[in-house]
Structure 1
Amino acid sequence: MDLDALRVPPEIRNYAKIEDENVLLRLEKWKNKALDTLAKLQTRVEELAKLALKEQADVITAVAPLSAEADWVPEETRSKANEILDSAFPDPALALVTHILQHNVRPIFRTNAHPSVNLDTGRKLPRPAGGPFASQDFYDAQGWKDQPGAWMVVFWCVKNIPSGGYEEIWHLVIPPVMTLLDDYEPQYKLCGLKIAIAMLDHVPGSLLKRTGVDSLFSGALGRAILVLDAPETPILLPSTVSASLQLIKLTTEEESAERFNQLCALLGDSIVGSVWMYSSNRPDALLASIVALPPVFKMLRVGCARYLKVLVAQLVFPLAPLEYQHTTLELQLASLRALSALFDACPQRIRHWSGTILNAVARCWVGVVENPQGKHELRTELQNVCRSLAVVCPELLQTEYPQVTALDEKIFTQLFTSRI
């Protein structure tokens, strides 16, 4: 079985930056040959399922990288790769996953081990191997990057590990995941993050805590959330927040001080204190951080009261910015949705801020009425916020809402009457 045709060329790791026509032509030929090889494998799916363990592992290792959602993987190629994996190996045994991690994945990442991970146990080391400059050495000679798509093999394995199987192969899973998650290049951080998210759906929280990997994950996620200038930021930042919430949920008790403190660190230190502090000229990062807020509010609940002053100020700002300040429709929509989530999470403390919120919403509504082109969704979200605000502050229906409507019934009547 010719699997060499599926081997991803090392230079494809920088595919978006390649300008040499000869290299691009060679890569196109490889893509075509890989697609033909996958088409042949599709006709032999039943045979693949009957292969010996090592041969099955080699097939998965060759095919999995071509199932990635990457700019160098054509849609047809991705579709065929996924069909082969799903059809030939629908319910892989733990022995197969273990073999792949042990013999196909481990050699790729072993020469560039994460300094804080014990390679034999998967546990956190008490101090970085190699001394205080180990983190710099960790970024040297990263041979695993010459095998683009190798992370997809790890991803496939993690997706197919049952909850009860992690204990047995912990030492095989954690090293490559941490290598990816803590890499200095955002594109690899994102790959590691996708694996970590899949892992957190099934891994026992007790195992994360007992091995110290919870703190390794927490540290790596904290660093990932500060990647503000990369093309990956719009995806990386919300995904990092989502993974952080799942990690907190797995490793802390509900209603515990530990959970509250970790959630406050995520919202107060990472998002408000770091992302927002440095995002005045980084609109993509700011938008991504606001998109990520609703699930944080839902989990922190009334604890959001600690940050209401800064949260309300930031969320109403895009609705009615000053003349010399810029906003976008996407930022306005995300801010309105975050406001509604904040009302649900912290209804007891919203009344004090209702005037500030209503002022911004009314100003934004005037802009929509005066220039409605392409703003149907914004119009709906403004109405939703007014409805949600009236639920947590019902007295507004008798006070502020009629007062605002009286300013101009033609403009404001629909803002308050629709959907309330």
Structure 2
Amino acid sequence: MSGNYFGLSSVLQKLEIPPDFTRYEEITEASTIVALDLWKQGVVQTLNELLAILRSTGESKLTVKDQGDIAFLCVPFEGICPWNDATQGGQSDSWVPVESMPIAKSILVLLPFSCSLQALVSQILTQNLRPIFRANPHPHLHTATGRKMGKPVGGHLAMQDYYEDQRWKKYPGIGSVVFWCVQNLESEAYENIWHLIIPPVMALLDDYEARYKLQGVEIVQELLRHVPKGLLRRTGVDGLLRQSLKNSLSNLQSPESPQLLRSAISASVNLTLLTTTVPPAGKPSSDRFDQLSSLLGEGIITGIWLYAEDKPVVVTATFDALPPLLEALGIGSARFLQALVPQLTHALIPRPLVDRDVQMQLSAIRVLETLMDVCKPRMKSWSETMLDGIGRCWVGLYDEEQRDATVNSEKRPKYLQGRDEVKRRLPKLCSKLIRVCPDIMQNYIPRFMEADRTLFQGLFIDVDS
């Protein structure tokens, strides 16, 4: 089919996202904002026109190139990428009208015509994405093979030069297209088109802007669900990914930082689990232990917590990501108890003149529960510290409720719901601690009851259950 057939070419041209949308939040020129908003208002009508064309066109009339162009232009309007997920702190892209999402999805559901999905993905990678990213090759990648280079092309200043001319940033939504390709590639297809998929992934992952780095991390998360582990090791890309994910953990100042840290820690754990082995005896390899230990010790404890005391959302993000990492380390987590337990219990203890951070407290409780599961033999030494933090948190909740009962409180419903959840979880956490460290029942519980039975009986209500 010719691109001009049924007006397809002109419709697709209207769907090309203006490059200025990449800096939409920074634009101050009124005329530019008006022009972008006018373009955005026409997107829904244009997508409906395209959908009508596809529904009225026979399969044989659409070439693979036509379908590749359609998918390349429509995917950015579908809004299904993790960085657009509001529940994870993401937001919709500035060029996407809410009404456009179901229409774009309806268009993509119709594809491919008369070819396989793998052929369509290959078409997009070869003809749509490759020309854009080829203009700015990654200094650590051999572009013809997708393998790691022994030495970066351009020497020690290669990455600085790499950031000079980034043509791909003139294509808003290009990260969504890369994600869609990774998501729709079958595992056995990666071997043949590895050199096409990994350059755009690394371009996003290694970018200096947090929003693009976040897209790269989320794409890596999806990549690890599909790519054969042998391919990662054989090409040396596992090491590149590991270092790039580690670099992502230093981003603490951006609005994207919480979501970026959660995803980067999760991707690092998944990468290690995929590319390291567990022998038949069941004991993890030294590589696995070393990589996970480095992630927790150097990446989180000394790399983030040391610099994020005044950034509670950043600390909470690391708490959110810790349980899978601790489960992967198992009893090996015990070597970090001296740093973990004080940090987590500190999050539970109320501080004068500082509002309670219920989301941080809920995350801390989940991590403490995981610690007790994986480090049960070593928890006795920390039982008093944990019980002290739990008790102080309980007293703080009681005092806050008493103040709210006497003062006209205007606390937000979401906060009150979170506070109630903390109050519900603390007795269960306390009960679990007593099961792990039975000595608490005899050595500490009586002291709490003697101090104030009315106050503390609710905290120990689950002890015998």
**Category of TM-score, reference length = shorter chain:** over 0.9
Q: Does residue 178 of structure 1 match 2:189? A: no
Distance 1:160 1:388 in 2: 43
Match of 1:379 in 2: 423
Distance 2:251 2:397 in 1: 34
Alignment RMSD (CA, Å): 1.8
Cα distance change, pair 162–49 in 1 and its aligned pair in 2 (3 A)? farther
User: Where in structure 1 do 4 or more consecutive aligned residues deviate above 6 Å?
Assistant: none
Match for residue 306 of structure 1 among 327, 335, 341: 335
Distance 1:62 1:377 in 2: 44
Partners of 1:48 and 1:88 within 8 A in 2:
no
Q: Does residue 7 of structure 1 match 2:29? A: no
Q: Which runs of 5+ in 2 are unaligned?
A: 1-7, 85-91, 279-283, 405-415
Partners of 2:369 and 2:429 within 8 A in 1:
yes
Distance 1:190 1:112 in 2: 20
Displacement after TM superposition at 1:327 (Å): 5.2
Which residue identity does 1:170 align to in structure 2? W
Distance 2:230 2:275 in 1: 7
What secondary structure sits across from 1:414 in the alignment?
A: coil
Distance 1:118 1:339 in 2: 44
Match for residue 97 of structure 2 among 71, 74, 98: 74
Displacement after TM superposition at 1:49 (Å): 5.5
Match for residue 223 of structure 2 among 199, 223, 248: 199
What secondary structure sits across from 2:188 in the alignment?
A: helix
Q: Does residue 281 of structure 1 match 2:300? A: no
Displacement after TM superposition at 1:395 (Å): 3.4
Cα distance change, pair 303–256 in 1 and its aligned pair in 2 (3 A)? same
Q: Which moved more, 1:133-142 or 1:365-374?
A: 365-374
Match of 2:437 in 1: 393
Cα distance change, pair 188–383 in 1 and its aligned pair in 2 (3 A)? same
Partners of 1:316 and 1:335 within 8 A in 2:
yes
Percent same amino acid at aligned positions? 40
Residue deviations 1:13-69 (CA, integer Å, cap 9, x gap): 012222322212111111122211111223344448552111110100111122233
Q: TM-score, normalised by structure 1?
A: 0.96
Displacement after TM superposition at 1:285 (Å): 1.5
Which residue identity does 2:50 align to in structure 1? L
Distance 2:328 2:158 in 1: 36
Match for residue 36 of structure 2 among 11, 27, 38: 27
Cα distance change, pair 48–327 in 1 and its aligned pair in 2 (3 A)? farther
Q: Does residue 158 of structure 1 match 2:202? A: no
Match for residue 117 of structure 1 among 132, 138, 141: 141
Displacement after TM superposition at 1:346 (Å): 1.1
Distance 2:68 2:251 in 1: 35
Displacement after TM superposition at 1:336 (Å): 1.4
Q: Which runs of 5+ in 1 are unaligned?
A: none
Match of 2:69 in 1: 58
Q: Does residue 17 of structure 1 match 2:40? A: no
Distance 2:461 2:59 in 1: 62
Partners of 1:92 and 1:160 within 8 A in 2:
no
Distance 1:92 1:193 in 2: 28
Distance 2:351 2:398 in 1: 18
